[in-house]
Structure 1
Amino acid sequence: MSRTHNLDALVHNLQLLAESFDSISDFCARIEVNRQQFNKYLAARHLPSQRVLAKIARHFHMDADDLFRAPADFKSFYEGVDRNVPDLLGFPKLLNLLDSTAANAGELARYHGNYFRYHCSSIVKGKVLRSVTYIYEKEGRTLYRTVERFPMSNGAGGTSWFSFMYHGFCVLLGDRIFMIDFEGKQRNELTFTVLTPQHRTPARFLYGLVTGVASTSYRQPFSARIAFMREGGQAFHRKHLRAATILEADDASIPVEIRAYLRCDESAVMFGGEG
């Protein structure tokens, strides 16, 4: 269905997003959208430009095309992206694990904050995926969310961005940080990460391994080295999201310590089923 024909869905979905703010004025101010123009969108008098759609979608960690989903589907999708407590916490056995490690919450507090996350891509061999991760505390548990962004040619000389958001929790067992998450858009994937803590405050780098399922047509299980670089104590901002992308393995923006650890040649990612 074309965007023009799906205008009613867009209007409904924009109204739902605006309702999560104190007012329409607050919504427009935070997203930096003209209020008078936004009122025309809500009245179905104008279709937002691609630039405005991208700005709104980026604020909510989704793609512009997601704004045109059928209203019922969009509500379920948006609530899955926006909620603070991940679906994983709905599993009683995982809750038991979290409760049993609650005594370690204080030890994990020094790792709370915003990080750039680097690992050898399971999709584009030989390249590095830089994403952003925010680790935080809620109701005595250490949770986190990660946003990945992939640039793709749109066929018209421009670039489209595909993003994925992971929700998860951290536990400290022995001298290791274990991170378990699920992908909130496709909702069909779990990822596991094990990190070795640094005994310094604040920790600038964390190194470890990530294991998951590749987002390719073959859906192979994979494992690769991963590294985190601390950016600050607050949740990530748009400037961090814009920096999330695919990089060449020798890109100068990757810290030299992380480049040396990842060693991202084409054999850096181990796929299940390969000899």
Structure 2
Amino acid sequence: MTDQDAPFSANLKMIVTREASVSDLCRKLSINRQQFARYLSGQTRPSPHNTRKIEVHFGLEPGALSWSKAEFQRNYVNLPLTSASDHQVNKLVNEAFSPDLRRLRPYLGYHHAYFYSFGWQGKIMKTLVHLYEQDGQVLSKTIERLRDPVTGHRFVFKYRGLVTMKAERLFIAETSTMSAGEMALTILYGTYRSQATKLSGLTMGSSSASRRDPTVARVIYNKIGNNIDLRKALGACGLYLPNSQDVPSGIAPLLDNHLDPAFDVLTARPVE
């Protein structure tokens, strides 16, 4: 370890104490655990790419890890530390949403999601969903744009969430960025194809009616690409009748929410 490396490893050791464990941190950053141990010991310095990933994760200025120990401690370490309960929450979230980027990457990109509206009877909701990779985690962003067919009022709803893969099922847990009382969970069948184009599953949330009934519906995700005309894709969102040209052929029958005769509960229908 050179004199130049000493502040870096010392500062890194200080800042990682904010994490539940080094292993959890490595999973978040998609950095090999043994390699990270060499960063901590000062045996080697991370590449510029990995250095920036660490800086972004902890909210550090570029180059801050190379500052003197006193300066780094003054600016970043002598701040309120997270509590033990915070660490436990982080651990639970990390366990539930530990990313498997290799398996999740085929699903990344923009999708139009279709499901029968929770608040407008007989109408199919068409929303825009973006699944993307950031700091070693797969995240989601959903935008709903619609016009009330009765009053003509326009509404926009936005959600952000975490994405994971469990037993070949895609789990997307989202919370509203506009209302603290809104959450949604979507579970989709995985696919063995190299690129996921159409996915089916169930989506759960609360209806927009005054009673806020817990509600579940069949859903289809139809991938529209990785680089898209965002304005056009958002403009296509809204409420539609099942026979509308804005609902691609073959999707509406997959969204029917009647129980299948063989089941006593609502189940998703795999896409053939």
- TM-score bracket for the superposition, by shorter chain length: 0.5 to 0.7
Q: Secondary structure at the match of 1:149?
A: strand
How far apart, in 2, do the equivalents of 1:229 and 1:207 lie? Answer: 9
> Is the 8 Å Cα contact of residues 98 and 171 (structure 1) preserved in structure 2?
no
Q: Is the 8 A contact 1:134 1:235 kept in 2?
A: no
Name stretches of at least 5 consecutive residues in structure 1 with no aligned partner. 1-89, 271-275
SS in 1 for 2:251: helix
Deviation, 1:100, is 6.2
Q: TM-score, normalised by structure 1?
A: 0.58
The number of residue pairs the alignment matches comes to 178
CA contact (8 A) 1:102 1:140 kept: no
- Structure 1 residue 245 displacement after superposition: 0.2
1:182 aligns with 2:189: no
Structure 1 counterpart of 2:235, one-letter code: R
Letter paired with 2:141: R
Greater Cα radius of gyration, structure 1 or 2: 2
The residue number in structure 2 matching 1:143 is 139
1:126 to 100, 122, 125: 122
Q: Which amino acid in the other structure matches residue 215 of structure 2?
A: F
Please tell me the residue identity of whatever aligns with 1:247.
Y
More deviation, 171-180/101-110: 101-110
Alignment of 1:67-216 (within 5 A): 93=89, 96-98=92-94, 101-102=97-98, 104-152=100-148, 159-216=152-209
- Equivalence for 1:64: none
Tell me by how many angstroms 1:154 deviates.
9.6
Matched, 1:261 2:257: no
Aligned-pair identity in percent equals: 25
Cα 1:100–1:253 shift into 2, 3 Å: closer
Higher helix proportion:
1
Aligned to 1:231: 224
Deviation of residue 256 (structure 1)? 2.3
Runs of 4+ in 1 over 6 A off after TM superposition: none
Letter in 2 for 1:256: S
C-alpha separation in 1, matches of 2:164 and 2:243: 32
- In structure 2, the gaps of 5 or more residues are 1-85, 259-265, 268-272
Specify the alignment match of 1:246 in structure 2: 239
